[in-house]
Amino acid sequence: LEAPGIYVFGELLDMPAVRELADSEFSPVFRLLTIFAYGTYADYLAEAANLPPLTEAQKNKLRHLSVVTLAAKIKCIPYSVLLEQLQLKNVRQLEDLVIEAVYADVLRGSLDQRNQRLEVDYSIGRDIRREELSTITRTLQEWCQGCEVVLSGIEEQVSRANQHKEQQLALKQQIESEVANLKKTIKVTTAAAAAATSQDPEQHLTELREPAPGTNQRQASKKTSKAKGLRGSAKIWSKSN
């Protein structure tokens, strides 16, 4: 019981030679081993008169196991509870015991001196009584059911996400198709409008070169009259001279 690093004793209790101690004159030793496996320091004190005395090393190991038992029920253990359960005189002894348990890798956590409590992050597992197996099984079943509910919820969310993705993809394809059809319509309409309003370049040049009917005759008559007027005026000027 004093061996460092040994905090599990279930294998010893399963040995036939050890089980025979329960019905022999060494039954107090068997009972003490049972307390180290499943009990606490308070359990030992309740039966101390009928059990072998403990050395200081054994007391500290049983106190470590008692802290582990408390940590399984509550993660923030007040100093007052620890002092009562471990039967320690002051906070200094309690903190030294907890630090010793941390170095032994029995538990991990921190001492909150301001709020006077031990905050446990991790603790080792203790031996399990056979009568506790049904409770553990029920707890695991409830945990499995909870996992199934969570998994079902995740699958439902994934299904909804996939449906939304398909709808968005279909909408995108529809919009792209409508845009393509609209571009085709605009292109055809623009080409038809251009064909209806545009002229043949050669015909346009011909129209620019050939004036409209009647235009040349008027221009020619104007030129002729001007020429006659100039000649007449020239003759009049020569006679006067």
Task: Sketch the domain layout of the chain as residue ranges.
Answer: 9-123, 130-188
Least confident among 21-30, 73-82, 146-155, 156-165: 21-30
- Taking only the tens place, the pLDDT of each residue in 154-185 is 988 999 999 999 999 999 999 988 898 888 88
Task: Say what the alpha-carbon torsion angle 88, 91, 92, 98 is, to the nearest 10 degrees.
Answer: 80
58 against 232, higher pLDDT: 58
Above 80 in pLDDT, residue 140? yes
88 against 199, higher pLDDT: 88
4 against 92, higher pLDDT: 92
pLDDT at 240: 41
- Helix/strand/coil for 166: helix
Kindly give the residue spans of alpha helices, DSSP state H, lying in 118-132: none
Among the listed residues 58, 74, 61, 40, the one whose alpha carbon sits nearest the alpha carbon of residue 106: 61
Confidence of residue 64 (pLDDT cuts 50, 70, 90): very high
Confidence of residue 213 (pLDDT cuts 50, 70, 90): low
